[in-house]
Structure 1
Amino acid sequence: MKLWKELKQRVEKGVETASHKSQQMVEISRLNLRIRGKKEDINRLYRRLGILVYEAWNENKGERLVLSGDMKEVLQLIRQFQADITAMERELLSVRGKVDCPECGAVFDRGTEHCPVCQAPIPHAMPPSTDARNTASEPQASDASSHRRHSEPIVSQTVSSDKNEPDGERRTAVASDNPRALSEFQTVVGEAIFVCPECGNQLKELVDTCPYCGEKFL
């Protein structure tokens, strides 16, 4: 009976650990997709800003350049999206159990009292909130597409000429109940694709190791 009880406890502990790890991988993938979506939006704004600058410069025959209201609005959006990326990158570190050094920017495990690179003292970071873990267990649309739906009405007010720009690759929906550590996504047409939760690159098939960053999956 004692042996059976110990075996049962080990199995329950293993299931709990695997479930937590799977949720963590889904959350990492979600944040990576959101960051990638923000960067794509910034690149579109860069192109729009370049068009506006050239048109203003050309109208003045290259003599002077004055920032228009559209230019200022695009610049403000770029700054806002960059701040969003910084916040999501810090959240990503927290989910992975990492912190970054405020002095040199080195990344290392949470709980380290001094930076292993520059020896600067590190304030103890709070553990990742349970709310973030719970959101990973709920089915939701790809954050890149979700972000696109929220950001497009704002950008369209100043980036009206980008309507003819070809749309990016199709967004996917997160299969949050996947028991594997490698997060699986389902396309609209039902074809399964796989995304590395570490680097965010799409994988051609279900593999044990990412060919891009070397991350190993459970």
Structure 2
Amino acid sequence: MADDFFGELGKSISRATQQAVDRTGDFFERTKITAQITGEQKEIDKLYQRLGEIVYRSIKAGTMMSNPELDPVMNDIDAHLNQVHTFRKSLADVSGMKVCGCCGSLIPLEAAFCPRCGAPAPLMNPEESEKNDAGAVTDQDSQNLMGEDDSRR
């Protein structure tokens, strides 16, 4: 009788242990697959963003026709790019610097060339800088501001 009891107890413990191992294996497999799905979704999101940037730049450059559905989004992007330009200009003013017209980097007022992209930078005092940068963001500016994010990929 004791042998039967301990034999059954051993079998029960073995079954419970095996079930726990199976559940743990299933959990890790689900976690692994979920991580793979998340990784693929992040790649898709990056591609969507890249596609959007290409479409935006193509429409701005006139190499692609705009679509009425895209117009509000294009206007929103332009508004945000203008805001970034304004903030960058304010940051340059507060820092005693100027904004590179090519890549958007902050550069010293006395710099003749941008240390980041090498583009020529006009020499000017802060008052002249304010007069020259008071306008809205141009198509070239929008490409430069958007292009700055390329370095983070």
Query: Same fold per TM (> 0.5)?
Result: no
TM-score in terms of structure 2 length: 0.42
Task: Indicate the structure whose relative CO is greater, using CA pairs within 8 Å and at least 6 residues apart.
Answer: 1
